[in-house]
Chains A and B, each alone.
Chain A
């Protein structure tokens, strides 16, 4: 194996970041997607657009604004200092926050679409069967939204693994703390270490392909059922 210790550290860090980002986004994104799928209020359209922004914005733009906001002069930076968390840029927490913002649309969109497709009738049927709204959410809505939940999980995870621009802007390149696979790969190429670059790049390609293939197969099964 031609991967060094710092390569493995980058791989470990990447998967830790992707897992945490996915878990937190599912937790926070599910209620948000639910609200977006049901609200008729104009403000929900604004939020819907903001949530989708990372999809079209260059990651560097997002990273730049985050850096400014989270910096010592920025409003969020002042807040994190006041809370005793210190400054977030160039730390793992900062990277996690940036990843969550960057991958947000990949969680929200499949969930929102799933919730919209389910419609109100199964929820009304549950209400006529004595189920409270919270009960209905867990026993009817989430099971029916399972294909959407799977897509959201897979896409959020895979997308976080593949991010680069935001990481570079907000996380920098600190080994073991913020240096993820994509940055490590960039370093290898800069240093003309093509063998290691091949291993990392090939691994990423294989991983992404496998994940997307798996998703296709899962969705096909979901349709057939």
Chain B
């Protein structure tokens, strides 16, 4: 479907002025500090901001084109939306909430099966409950199912997990990842939690003060050393890995990625593919191979480039490991002391690897 949007909205001192294109599949994450306009931008896409000016084109239909006076109201856009606080209807039970949008979707347009969705999100025991009786996690699952059952062409999720504690989050995240794989439904997802970004995103749109600062593939955008101020401590790379073997004695798994291998504590998982994330601050550099050190993952690398970090004491080093990119954050002092320059051969010592 591919969606292209150019949106402008002035509200008091805040000014949204964003242009972006979304891929026609996968999960796009809108990321940025609070107040950067993520929710406003999503509401523009949904057609809930009546004062927004600009253009939204989905495939060959225009949802909005202010220059021609076109504005398709929200209920005719064919989107699904999950609000931050679920917004279930308190006068209906779970079944009634699920049926609300389903009944208003013409049978011919229904691509998503009612029973399948109930099973997928484990809602069968909740159907007769009223929203106030549900926990936060259950409410969000109902809200996600309710939106899905309208068979939307685009699913918008506004920080669906923000109001939940870590345990509830872990309960819903797998559902979301599973949904994306099973239903092949493009999603736009707002969050400022880095673990959700790195786990779910395929594509990243960075917003700051109402403007799009960068957009692109997750790994490429996340590791752009010219954007350190946004990610700051969270600046990282994402590697797609495959489990090669397991050391049953030490309980370690050997994960292969393009250009090298990593050893990580073995955890049970489905399939062999696994996304891992390595923070720039968890990578240190050495000029020679150390074996008298507790760090497991030491990889030979070539320095590609050096750029400033958000704190003047630090620098960011982009490393090439057999074709994969790795970022290391070290101090300026160490840079000079070790004499690291573009082209240097170094050893990257990876203190920790997060399995996603």
Residues of A at under 8 Å CB distance from B?
121-122, 124-133, 135, 139-140, 143-144, 146
A129 pairs with B73, CB closer than 8 A: no
- Contact between B89 and A128 (Cβ–Cβ < 8 Å)? no
Are A129 and B104 CB-contacts (below 8 A) given A124-B48, A124-B74? yes
Question: Contacts A122-B87, A140-B89, A144-B90: A128 and B80 contacting too (C-beta < 8 A)?
Answer: yes
Contact A125 B87 (CB under 8 A): yes
In the bound complex, CA of A125 to CA of B81 (Å): 8
Contact: B147 with A144, CB < 8 Å? no
**Which residues of chain B from 175 to 217 have a CB within 8 Å of any chain A CB?**
none
Known: A129-B75, A129-B100, A130-B101. 9 other contacts (CB 8 A): A124-B74, A125-B81, A126-B89, A127-B48, A127-B75, A128-B46, A128-B156, A129-B150, A139-B100
Q: How far is the CA of A170 from the CA of B46 in the complex (A)?
A: 53
Residues of A within 8 A of B91 (CB): 140, 143-144, 146
For the complex formed, measure the closest distance between the CB of B137 and the CB atoms of chain A, giving whole angstroms: 19
In the bound complex, how far is the Cα of B203 from the Cα of A29, in angstroms?
50
* Interface 0/1 of B86-120, CB less than 8 Å to A: 01111100000000110011000000000000000
Interface centre among A122, A127, A132, A143 (most CB of B within 10 A): A127
Are A128 and B79 closer than 8 Å at their CB atoms?
yes
Q: List 18 A-B contacts (CB under 8 A).
A: A124-B48, A124-B87, A125-B88, A127-B73, A128-B74, A128-B75, A128-B156, A129-B100, A129-B147, A129-B150, A130-B75, A130-B105, A131-B75, A135-B104, A139-B100, A143-B91, A144-B89, A146-B91
Which of B80, B100, B146 contacts A131, CB < 8 Å? Answer: B100
B71 within 8 A of A: no
- What B residues does A146 contact at CB under 8 A? 91
On chain A, the residues within 8 Å of B48 by CB distance are: 124, 127-128
What separation, in Å, do the CA atoms of A143 and B105 have in the docked complex? Answer: 22
Partner of B104, one of A121, A130, A144: A130
- Enumerate the 8 nearest inter-chain pairs by beta-carbon distance, A residue then B residue, closest first: A129-B101, A130-B104, A127-B74, A128-B81, A125-B87, A143-B91, A127-B75, A130-B75
Chain A residues within 8 Å of B105, by CB = 130
Write out the residue numbers on chain B whose beta carbons fall within 8 Å of the beta carbon of A125. Answer: 81, 83, 87-89
Binary interface encoding of chain B residues 102-144 relative to chain A, with 1 for a CB under 8 A from any of its CBs, else 0:
0011000000000000000000000000000000000000000
The verdict on A129 contacting B90 (CB below 8 Å), with A121-B83, A124-B48, A124-B74 known, is no
CB–CB A132/B87 < 8 A = no
Q: A128-B80, A129-B100 are in contact. Are A121 and B87 (CB under 8 A)?
A: yes
Residue in A closest to B149 when the chains form the complex, CB atoms: A129
Return chain A residues, CB-CB under 8 Å to B88. Answer: 125
Q: How many A-B residue pairs have CB under 8 A?
A: 58
B75: chain A residues at CB < 8 Å are 126-133
Docked Cα-Cα span, A125 to B83, in Å, equals: 8
Q: How far is the CA of A132 from the CA of B76 in the complex (A)?
A: 8
B residues less than 8 Å from A130 (CB atoms): 75, 101, 104-105, 150
A129 closest partner in B (C-beta): B101
- Most chain B beta-carbon contacts within 10 A, residue among A125, A129, A131, A143: A129
Instruction: Collect the chain B residues with CB atoms within 8 Å of residue A126's CB.
Output: 75, 89, 100
Measured CB to CB, the nearest residue on chain B to A136 is B75
Instruction: Give the CA-CA distance A139 to B87 in the complex, in Å.
Output: 15
- Tell me the smallest distance from the CB of A174 to a CB of chain B, in Å: 46
A130 to chain B: closest residue by CB: B104
A132: B residues at CB distance < 8 A = 75
Give B46-88 interface residues, CB cut-off 8 Å to A: 46-48, 73-75, 79-81, 83, 87-88
Chain B residue at minimal CB-CB distance from A128? B81
How far, in whole Å, are A135 and B76 apart by their CA atoms in the complex? 13
As a 0/1 sequence over residues 277 to 288 of chain B, the CB contacts with chain A under 8 angstroms (1 = contact) are 000000000000
Shortest distance between the CB of B186 and any CB in chain A (Å): 16
Cα of A217 to Cα of B48 in the assembled complex, Å = 38
Q: Which B residues are CB-close (under 8 A) to A124?
A: 48, 74, 87
Chain B residues with Cβ below 8 Å from A121 are 83, 87
Minimal beta-carbon separation of A119 from chain B (angstroms): 10
A122 and B89 within 8 A (CB): yes
B322 to chain A, nearest CB (A): 46
Report how far A124 CA is from B146 CA in the complex, Å.
Answer: 14
Q: Which residues of chain A are within 8 angstroms of B80 by Cβ–Cβ distance?
A: 128
CB distance from A39 to the nearest CB of B (A): 14
When chains A and B are docked, how far (Å) is the Cα of A10 from the Cα of B81? 57
A144 to B87, CA, bound (A): 13
Q: Output the least CB separation between B56 and chain A (Å).
A: 15
Q: How far is the CA of A121 from the CA of B86 in the complex (A)?
A: 10
Q: How far is B90's CA from A122's CA once the two chains are assembled, in angstroms?
A: 9
Q: Across the interface, do A129 and B87 meet the contact criterion of CB distance under 8 Å?
A: no
Distance, CA A121 to CA B43, complexed state (A)? 12
- Return chain B residues, CB-CB under 8 Å to A128: 46, 48, 74-75, 79-81, 101, 147, 150, 156
Residues from chain A with a CB closer than 8 A to the CB of B104 are 129-131, 135
Q: How far is the CB of A154 from chain B (nearest CB, A)?
A: 20
A146 to chain B, nearest CB (A): 8
